[in-house]
Structure 1
Amino acid sequence: MEARWGAAVLLVVLVRSWALVSGQVRYSVPEEAKVGTVVGRLSQELGVEAGDAEARRLRVVWQGRRASVEVSGASGALVVSSRLDREELCGKSAPCSLRLELLQERPLRVFHVELEVTDINDNAPLFPAARKNISLPENSPVGSRFPLEGASDADIGANAQLSYKFSPSEHFQLDLQKTEEDGDSLFLVLTKALDRETVPLHRLLLTASDGGRPSLTGTMELVISVLDANDNIPQFNQSVYKVQLPENTERGTLVIKLNARDLDEGTNGNIVYSLQKLFPQDEREVFEIDRKSGEIRLRGDLDFEDVRLYRLQVDAADQGNPPQLGHCKVVLEVLDVNDNAPEVWVTSLSVPVPEDASVGTVVALLSVSDRDSGANGRVQCSVWPTSPFGLESRFAGSYSLVLREALDRERVSEYEVEVRAEDGGKPSLRARRGVRVPVSDVNDNAPSFSQAVYTVLARENNAAGAELARLWARDPDEADNGRVSYSLWEGVAGAPWSGGGWRPASSYVSVDAESGRLWAVQPLDYEELQVLQFEVRAVDAGEPPLVGNATVQLFVVDENDNAPALLPTAGGGAGLVPFAGSVAGSSVEGASGSESETLWAWAAWGSPAGQVVAKIRAVDADSGYNAWLRYEVWEPRGKGPFRVGLYSGEVSTARALEEADGPRQRLVIVVRDHGEPSRSATATLSVSLVEGGEAALVAAGSSSSSLMSGVVLPVEGGAASSSANVWLVVAICAVSSLLVLALVLYGAARWAPRAAVLSGPAPATLVCASEVGSWSYSQRQSRSLCVAEGAGKSDLMVFSPNLPPPPPGPSAKDTSQPQPTALLNTVSGPPFLFSSTHHSLLACPHSLRLLFSSLALFASPLACWMPESVCGRVLMEAFF
């Protein structure tokens, strides 16, 4: 403090000295002088006494403002009245001179006083701010200069001469440049590259020191913020990300979340993600990415069979200017799921398949695939039904549908083959493909008749052109191979002709080529033709044509178109057989509607009952029941001495003859057949009654003169009875032999193989048994047939065929069709059996029916056991 006052005194002395020199009052006062500090002695300078200053009213006027100095009224000195601040008064001006006017009011005078305020070092260097924030880009090049605003010092002169220093820094240094024009220029120089990511903030202390004594200092803190430069690209923690997803992953599923790190800050560190698909290059948007979070989600559907691998590129871009990009790849592998069923395709189909195709023929080529992979794509194939087709694998995914068995179009004309494919997935998926395989026809079947032998019944006297039967041959082939035409085969003789020789079957019948209808060419006559046997050929239109044969046995069914006819006797008479004790003769008389014969016979008086006097013999050109004759006494009606056997025709005494019966008896005997309507013939028998001796002479004369004339007396009844007993025994033995023969034949037919016999027409003997046990026979030719019309009868007819072989001719058999082992309704060996109770043709080889017939033969004589029975005599006559 003392030093300061010393300086002030020195300054006053200097001012006064200067004022004295210049002639002007000058004062000098240091700034910040205390109030009351005497600046100058005005009374001395102006010649004013100390006491006069107050009286003269001296005051200081400073440009209309109150001055910081005033005149002390007591001393008349100019003293400091208020704080003097040079920096306030003059600022940086130097020197700081205040021009004051000293106004004296008594008397009014003005004195000019120049007051110089001298500077003291009372102001430290002052920076504009205590802290200065500086932002420098981190990418600023080394050597970059950044201007700084230096400190200011309100002082002047040496007190205002500033020097600067910097706190130590490896990145910055201070550069001070002094120029006369611009003054001091302060620069911050970058000596080392900045790295915000390493040191984001630098704090430096800038100190300014003035030249005063003592020196004052001012400081300013430099806060250097390293501004982020977009010098870091976003970085992913992996360059390649691998992800696996099954192909059935639902939409919206999170695939992966990516996170890129950018060391920059602010917008330079704000990352935006974008997605780019590298492979495959299609327009489907399968994936989407959240631009802020980096989450990749599934937007579309995955399909392993379409795309198995996706390569995605994810770009992470910051928001710097220019923006920096970071990249990574996402490799997404799609895992297969068994979501595709196998597929079966028919690449080639060769249909229709001929039915004679060989085993191994390729029918179709198949292609099998499954879009899945691995076990899901391994396909196993099978075929259903398993026969007659199978599968053969040529190579992977290719199969051949081949024929494993022989085909038969007639059994199966078309196959629906199903190829089944199954993959190895879990669960497995299946596929089916139907293949329609038609079978084409080959002419491998000959026409076949439903029967090897057809039995056709035709009534005689049928009209020409009448349909006799309809034959049908089945050919299971199709089209021309199955179109059958019929023809009559002339290779076998048809029937013997009454005019001699054989007549062809075509003269009797014809066959319609298309329908197979059998027509009659001319009316048939049973008496001319009983059996017509021929063959019908059925030929298809295939290449080569195949032939089938059938044998037709045409039986002409007898109609009752012939009346009975009386047979002539040995002497030329008609219809009378003489017995011992009788003589027969005849003459023909007309009868109404029938043939009438007049017969003669003699009978002795006293002949016992049952004495046969004559036998009427008659035949009928018809057959069967139509030829089965019965005899009735038409006149006289009532109880006459004679009776006639119903079926034998024997005229016998009904009682002992008496004289009252008269010398002659006239009998009218009607012979009727069993036809519908029946036909008849009439015979008139004239019986002369004579004595016994006359009857003997007549009989002797008859036998010696071949029954010319006369009366023969009857033989004694005992002799006739004895002869009848002998014949009855013979008949019983014969019937027994027939029974044994029937049993033997039945056993042979039962265990012997049946063979087909084709035979032509031949005569057969017909023997008829009635319900009463009497027998008749017909010598007409016949065969085993059944009249399908008319009333049923209980008689049993036994036919004994005598079939000669047909005339030689070319064979009509075709070896293209195997012959059956047995022919229907064809007989060989034992007699034909026929029962009129059943209106059908009986199969002749059936030995069981033969046995029944034999039993009937055996039973019939038992009914005629009595030797005197007429039935016994008729039976013997019928057999012998």
Structure 2
Amino acid sequence: MEQRGRKAWRGRQFCFFFMVVLDVVCNGASAQIRYSISEEVQRETVVGNIAKDLGLDKSALKDRGYRIVAGSTEPLFHLNQNDGILYVTRGIDREEVCDRTSPCLINLKTVLENPLEIHYVVVEILDINDHSPVFPEKEKRLEISESALTGARFQLQAAHDDDVGQFSIQQYRLSHNEYFRLEVKDRGEDRKVPFLVLQKQLDRETAGKLKLRLTAVDGGKPVKSGAIDIIVDVLDVNDNSPVFIKEFYSSTLKENAPVGTVVIQVNATDLDQGANSEIIYSFGHEVDSKVINVFTIDAHTGEIKVTGQIDFEQSKSYEIDIQASDKGQAPLTTDKSVMITVIDVNDNAPEIEVTSFSSSIKEDSKIGTTVALISVNDLDSGDNGKVICTIKEEVPFTLAPSLQENMYAVVTRSQLDRENVSQFDVTIIAKDSGDPIFSSEKTISVVVSDVNDNRPVFSSSPYVFYVTENNSPGASVFSVKAFDCDESDNALISYHISREASGDNKFTSFLNINPENGDILALKGFDFETLKTFQFRV
């Protein structure tokens, strides 16, 4: 019962903090908020109130369409559009959604429409101690010559813990014995490799076999551990280990180097004679599988060659453990690290992403109005990853860089006129600075919406027409016509006669006009002897 209570409490516990950074671009806006939660919190756990942290009015959220921009993966979070609170959609396993790099950051994009705002929300998934250290084997056998010198080091298999940081493996413990002490080498990224160091001369006749126990302990409270049995078989004779000629081996290698390229050659010597001095080169037992997939070492010459695809974007360097072993009956082995640094070449084109877009804009919008927000990314590094964005066509739009790197706003740079051009296809070009240059294009269509900025125009002015005297009252005597360059309701026209009582305009009381089609009707018959001419205004 108590154990279930602790587990439930652990499932409910979470902590979060936030940091708000506002980044405003012309008429569009962007902001960044950071929260943190523990993994394995229950679904519907509150991550944070985005609306409150941004100072947004909750009453306007629903009308303005506040939402998370959908991604390509299963959503881990959802947003309440009524109050702006961010919730956990399902239980999150940090080891499932992130690799072992720390911190584990989930990037969300939220958009608030009318006016357009984009907010970046970063949620850090905090690790909890839910994994124990595990060795790849339950037992490890070592064969060590009785002539091995004090201080000799023997690499052991490292344990693995899916947790990170303080919950990963913090130390190793060796069972008490009089022959060996434990030394641990920190290889970074929560990777510690244990070594047995001989501290007392072995004697096969006294102790031909030793049984040790190595325990890996993490930093949780309470701690979790895993263990492996180490069986040491003490052998005779061969009493000299190979010695590498150089203290340190390093080389550089361009990515996309062809298969068969020789990267570096290692060389070791052995003071023994015969088979005990013949050396075989190999990778160390703890070499990562990704190294084995792209490199090989010649067992006889020590040449390291390329056998797979070298990609700078996947790995910028390789630290390879090399072993030199003699051919004695009890082979002696010496370890050496080889550092290979990968040099980037320009093999990736920039990627353009439209993060937010308003498909239409009013023709009377002010210069500098934002119609779209874009982001660019190039997987290369250095000059190969530096991207310059331009707009291809001669259009009344330009790119305004954001305070956030590789973010741009597409804004108006001159006045729009729907009556001249009602739609623009804006093509954005992203070019990197590499050699050769790689580029990408993205086209967005912007529709210019109408505003009532044109007056009706008569087909003729003035109009001159003739009426036969004794005309029939109520009959049409003439028609006027006007047109408007605007569209929809802005182009609808109605007609009326200006009724001014002075001068000739007093005769307008005898006229009427159809407000829809401009037909002018005479309400009485005219007499040439009484009235020969008159004018009026429509």
TM value normalised by structure 1: 0.31
Structure with bigger helix share is 1
Report 1 or 2 for greater relative contact order, CA contacts < 8 Å, sequence distance ≥ 6.
2
